[in-house]
Amino acid sequence: DTAVSQTPKYLVTQMGNDKSIKCEQNLGHDTMYWYKQDSKKFLKIMFSYNNKELIINETVPNRFSPKSPDKAHLNLHINSLELGDSAVYFCASSQDGQGHNEQFFGPGTRLTVL
Amino acid sequence: AQTVTQSQPEMSVQEAETVTLSCTYDTSESNYYLFWYKQPPSRQMILVIRQEAYKQQNATENRFSVNFQKAAKSFSLKISDSQLGDTAMYFCAFMKPYNTDKLIFGTGTRLQVFP
pLDDT in tens, A14-60: 999 999 999 999 999 988 999 999 999 999 999 888 888 888 778 78
Closest B-chain CA to A96? B101
Distances, alpha carbon A91 to alpha carbons A10, A43, A74, A95, in Å:
14, 12, 8, 14
Amino acid at A5: S
CA quadruple B83, B49, A96, A76: dihedral sign: negative
pLDDT surpassing 80 at residue B79: yes
- Predicted confidence band at B100 (pLDDT cuts at 50, 70, 90)? low
pLDDT in tens, B12-66: 999 999 999 999 999 988 889 999 999 999 999 999 999 999 888 999 999 999 9
- Give the pLDDT of residue A50: 84
Closest A-chain CA to B94? A99
State the average pLDDT over residues A67-71.
90
Our measurement of the distance from residue A12's CA atom to the centroid of its chain's CA atoms, rounded to an integer in Å, reads 17
Separation CA A105–CA A93 (nearest Å)? 7
Closest A-chain CA to B41? A107
- Work out the end-to-end distance of chain B between its first and last CA atoms, rounded to an integer number of angstroms: 41
Averaged confidence pLDDT in chain B: 93
Q: What share of chain A is helix, strand, coil (3-state, %, to 5)?
A: 5, 55, 40
Mind giving me the DSSP string for A37-86? E-TT--EEEEEEEETTEEEEE-S--TTEEEEEEETTEEEEEE-S--GGG-
- Give the pLDDT of residue A81: 97
- Give the pLDDT of residue A55: 81
Percent of chain A with pLDDT over 70: 95
A108: chain B residues, CB-CB within 8 Å: 43-45
Chain B, 32-51: which have a CB under 8 Å from a chain A CB?
Answer: 32-33, 39, 42-47, 50
- Give the pLDDT of residue A52: 80
Nearest 5°: phi and psi at A84? -70, -10
Bond into A8 cis (ω within 30): yes
- Give the pLDDT of residue A44: 93
- Predicted confidence band at A87 (pLDDT cuts at 50, 70, 90)? very high
- Give the pLDDT of residue B17: 98
Chain A, 57-86: which have a CB under 8 Å from a chain B CB?
Answer: 58
Separation CA A37–CA A98 (nearest Å)? 22
Our measurement of the distance from residue A16's CA atom to the centroid of its chain's CA atoms, rounded to an integer in Å, reads 20
Mind giving me the DSSP string for B43-89? ---EEEEEEETT--SPPEETTEEEEEETTTTEEEEEE-S--GGG-EE
